[in-house]
Amino acid sequence: MKLLVLFSGIFLFANCSGDKPEQATDVFELSNESEIVQTLDKTIDDELIYEPEMSYVDSVFVFIDSAESEHNKAPVERQFSNEKWTYNKVNDSLEIVVITYSKHKKFYSEEYILLNSSLIYAIEWVEYISGEDITSWNCEYFIKENEIVDYNSLGHGETESDEWEPESIFDQWELREELFNEVSER
């Protein structure tokens, strides 16, 4: 609840400061982003942070922010063929792996976030380069108990095909799991 109030305060402060004449106000200052990460770390063991007004997807975004934080430990980086794997164990419950590679003038990026060893989020990006033009596509997946609860796709890519199935992300993750276990030293 403190985190929700903290973010609400930041939002209200930012939206209320507009072009109004200067006036005496209580200035809210975020002293250290790592305090937020530590607060999140304490709540992760209780699964997702669930406030009555917070959706599952919003809860997952809290974990994405924590997993992608610059205050995390130094990541483990490994090279497999032309793929670069960047892994970070944020704490005992939260892990992130980012995989980047290129093939046939296409650049790929995959990101997977696991909470208590279960996949809760994935995003895949593809950038196509043709001459001076760059076309992008991405799809992000919000996952709960091995089911996709929501996904969003932007750009021109796989999701435009009639044969595409959102559940294909599970097949993709399954192919990645063996190397993930090696990188994460499981």
pLDDT tens readout for residues 64-73: 887 787 667 7
Q: Which helix (H) or strand (E) holds 172?
A: helix 168-183
pLDDT band at residue 159 under the 50/70/90 scheme = confident
Other Cβ atoms within 10 Å of 138 Cβ, number? 16
- Residue 62 CA to its chain's centroid (Å): 9
Per the document, the length of the chain is 186
d(CA 39, CA 72): 13
Helices (H) and strands (E) in the chain, counts: 4, 7
- Residue 134 CA to its chain's centroid (Å): 23
Residue 38: predicted pLDDT: 46
The mean pLDDT of the chain is 77
CA distances from 160 to 107, 154, 163, 183 (A): 19, 10, 9, 33
d(CA 114, CA 121): 7
Res. 171: pLDDT tops 90: yes
Range with the largest mean pLDDT of 37-41, 49-53, 94-98: 94-98
Res. 148: pLDDT tops 90: yes
